[in-house]
Amino acid sequence: MNALRETNFQLPGQTAFYRGKVRDVYSLGDKLVMVASDRISAFDHVLPRAIPHKGAVLNQIATYALQSSSDLCPNWLISSPDPNVAIGWRCDPVRVEMVIRGYLVGHAARTYASGLRTLCGLTLPEGLRESDPFSEPIITPTTKAEEGHDEDISREEILAQGVVSAEDYAQMEAYTRALFQRGTEMAAARGLILVDTKYEFGKKDGQILLMDEIHTPDSSRYFYAEGYAERQASGERQRQLSKEFVREWLIANGFQGKDGQEMPVMPDVFVKEISSRYIELFERMTGRAFVKDDSKNIASRIEENVLAALALM
């Protein structure tokens, strides 16, 4: 059950360090070294247990997805010198996450079940059931919080507050739809349905670039395509490959990230199940066998590979 909880490198030329919920980010001038740890978060909280192989799965899926969509949208990625590492261009982040939803699930489903019929300024139709498809994918942006919870926001509010210009927002919206369509096609080819996902953008030298990870189980939900229609017709829950089952386990154990709630600690058997599901999604999405690296010192392996890559830049 060896897992990478965190890294603490001092890289040559390092100017800053930031530890996010999942990633350790090292700034080196105009470049970033982003290490995907095995930490896992839900409801904007980092859970106590790290998940073996999770970081390598996330980074390798994101690398695969970024390389497979670079013709649609320029992105930040330069190279991936280690299973857990991406090196890319430093961008000024746009403080909006572009969430796009093809189906009524997760936060949207919980909002709908509460009786509300508007989400991020959009009116949702009556008569939907959880996991039903929308007539066309909807974009439901959120604010990109430095700390704490991201908040729903409408396109109109984004423009009124001057968070981003109308021109840049239109470009991000076009990229979001194109990327979601490509992700949907790639998933369908592997027997999966891309249910919803999010994209983060930044600017470098005046150009909008796609940043961070895309189409991973941390940023996206997937259904199994086989049996989807039958399960939906009979009112059964859909089979998912995503992090949603972790959220559901937390909710069942009394935690939704609200004040006064105590975070439950996941037992070993559940940690192993999460790891297995992440690996399964990698293999389903890419068609490749996942290679487990059971290094006793994962951080040392990462540091060695990063130093070698930086020496060639």
Number of other residues whose CB lies within 10 A of the CB of residue 259: 4
pLDDT in tens, 144-193: 766 556 789 999 999 999 999 999 999 999 999 999 999 999 999 999 99
Distance CA 181, CA 188 (A): 10
The residues facing 203 across adjacent strands are: 92, 208
- Please indicate, yes or no, whether residues 84 and 120 belong to a single structural domain of this protein: no
Helices (H), 7-67: 54-67
C-alpha span between 258 and 112 (Å, rounded): 20
pLDDT at residue number 262: 92
Q: Does residue 106 share a domain with residue 30?
A: no
pLDDT reported for residue 240: 83
Return the H-helix or E-strand segment holding 122.
Answer: strand 122-123
Residue with tokens 């290490």: 35
Indicate whether 135 pLDDT > 90.
yes
Whole-angstrom Cα distance, residue 83 to residue 186?
21
In the chain, which ranges are continuous DSSP H helix?
54-67, 106-113, 155-160, 166-189, 228-234, 244-252, 268-286, 298-311
Residue 121 has pLDDT above 90, yes or no: yes
CA distances from 310 to 26, 63, 75, 148 (A): 12, 18, 20, 33
Domain count for the chain, please give it. 2
Same domain, 111 and 203: yes
Other C-beta atoms lying within 10 Å of the C-beta of residue 183: 24
Is the domain of 182 the same as that of 302? no
Same domain, 83 and 97: no
| pLDDT of 134 above 70 | yes
Considering the domain architecture, whether residues 99 and 55 belong to the same structural domain is answered as: no
How large is the C-alpha radius of gyration of the chain? Answer: 19
- pTM for the model stands at 0.89
Chain mean pLDDT for the chain: 94
Question: Do 86 and 195 belong together in one domain?
Answer: no
Q: Is residue 256 part of a domain?
A: no
Q: What is the pLDDT of residues 76-116, one digit of tens each?
A: 999 999 999 999 999 999 999 999 999 999 899 999 999 99
pLDDT digits (tens, 9 = 90+) for 227-253: 999 999 999 999 887 787 898 899 999
At CA 254, angle to CA 251 and CA 259, rounded to 5? Answer: 105
Answer yes or no: is pLDDT of 28 > 80: yes
Task: Mark whether 44 and 121 lie in a shared domain.
Answer: no
- Cα 197 from Cα 108, distance rounded (Å): 12
What CATH number did the domain enclosing 157 receive? 3.30.470.20
CATH number for the domain harbouring residue 52: 3.30.200.20
Is 234 domain-assigned? yes
Which residue type is seen at 235? Answer: G
Tokens describing residue 254: 């009394």
In a domain, 6, yes or no: no
Residues 225 and 114 in one domain: yes
Both tokens assigned to 72: 């649609």
85 and 209, same domain (yes or no):
no
Mark whether 293 and 195 lie in a shared domain: no
Tell me the residue range of the domain where 82 lies. 16-91+263-311
